[in-house]
Structure 1
Amino acid sequence: MPEGDTVYLTGRRLDEALAGRTLVRTDFRHPRLATVDLAGRDVVGVATVGKHILTRFSGDLTLRSHLRMDGSWHLYRPGDRWKRPGHQARVVLEVPDRLAVGFALHDLELVPTGEESRLVGHLGPDLLGPWTAQDEAEAVARLTADPEREVGLALLDQRVLAGVGNVYKSEVCFLLGVSPWTPVSGVDGARAVALSRKLLLANALRPVRNTTGLIGRGRESWVYERAGRPCLRCGTRVRVAEQGEGVQERTSYWCPRCQPGPIA
């Protein structure tokens, strides 16, 4: 599932292309929305909350989309060749001179703008949204609410922090110096939240993610997808194992020397 920074950048690009412009054609290829026609409405703007994209239209309407594992939004000029097959398109939003095509979007829902909270109100503080001391305090409180929960699982829970995915879970645990299986009680909750937000903000507008600050191919992440390769800090071979069960199961990467603590 895409990280929050990928979703944020997607939303920014959609907003730059569509906001303030009038829809000349819409094509919804989703069973529940097949009869919807928004042509003639203005695009008020595109915002993101965690991993949810909210495209707002005049007349108090919002289209919520979620990329999940394989979804994506592409922008084209009229007549451009699409980079994904047409049968994968789930929605087309056309304004003068631009087309926004949403491919493989499993979650599409049209709601009154005033009811957006019904779709995203359960989420924790958005790490890439407006941020106040109150947001920070709430994020720390949610993260530390279950002291015995594994920190890797807590970081991935969008009800705790909105925006962290598997990449940042692994990278934040590395920077905290703990294994992903360490109980939340064994980490500094405030530091975990601060690191999560710092890394997401640093990559929010980058097409290529880098969590290390190091230059050079293959040095973009500390441990993520580096199984069997030397740790960039100590040289120990990075390990990998599955964490969680069922739909929550994710791959975790860690350096056994730099990240002491329980393991799978």
Structure 2
Amino acid sequence: MTTTKLSNPTTKHDLCVYEWNDTFNDEATKPEKLVCIFHGAGGRGLQFEKTCEILAKNHPDWHFVTFDQVGHGGSFSSDISYQWSDFEFDSLYSNAEFIVNHFRNKYQQKDHKIELCIAAHSVGSGLAMRYCINHRDIVSKLILLGTKPEAPGKSPVWVFPSLFLELIRGVFSASFAKLAYHESTPIEVKEAESEHTKNNTMYMMKAICTQLIWPTQEEIATIKVKTLVISGETDGLTQPERGKVVHELIENSQFCIIEGASHNMMIEKPSILAEKIEQFFIANEQ
């Protein structure tokens, strides 16, 4: 895995990017190469680390990319006073669009054809669907994890001031864990993720969840690329039945459920997720 920082000139955000099997400078690259860009839940790209490691090992000719959204993981800076506007849907979308177009353009500059796939989870799935709607002829495959036909994260708790939300963060986190993890998920897995997300302030989470502009069902139905919708068996945040609705809206799509997992399936069952993605890619080779 390699780690770099890219700066989006539109939002002025420095974004931390992770890559596996980076070969776009390799003159021996095949005429067409699969490039898959992941967008993690809430914005932490390394939630997909184990899944990407498995896929990269099995398919050294596939290029995998994931990144941290503004204020998350390696894209967080203690020197920045983040503004409400940093987490508007349009700002998050601009960052995702910038990353996708950055790698797409790098291959084009080398005259290397690519098969572009976007794999996105939760909030990221809305950004990915919007990209497919805006750029209909660019994406070859789409994977939507923990998605639903309406914006996730809607909760009456967001009416409270951010300062109060920080005071009750422990209660909020405990409630989130019940909805986001399967009962069989080891406590150490939950604790590790909690440590990774300690810089995710309630101010940021409130700003993201209250400013989501989700594609309408009519818009989602216009997506025509080969799509795989994956839900966690006991997901309490984006319930499997809501994921199935997205599948039914997208004409050229498949739907599956990962048993023993919930909303954070890529942390709970990374090897099974890798297997599902691998099967989807191979079965739908162009």
Q: TM-score range by the shorter chain?
A: under 0.3
TM-score by length of 1: 0.24
Q: Greater relative contact order: 1 or 2 (C-alpha under 8 angstroms, separation 6 or more)?
A: 2
Larger gyration radius, structure 1 or structure 2:
1
TM-score by length of 2: 0.23
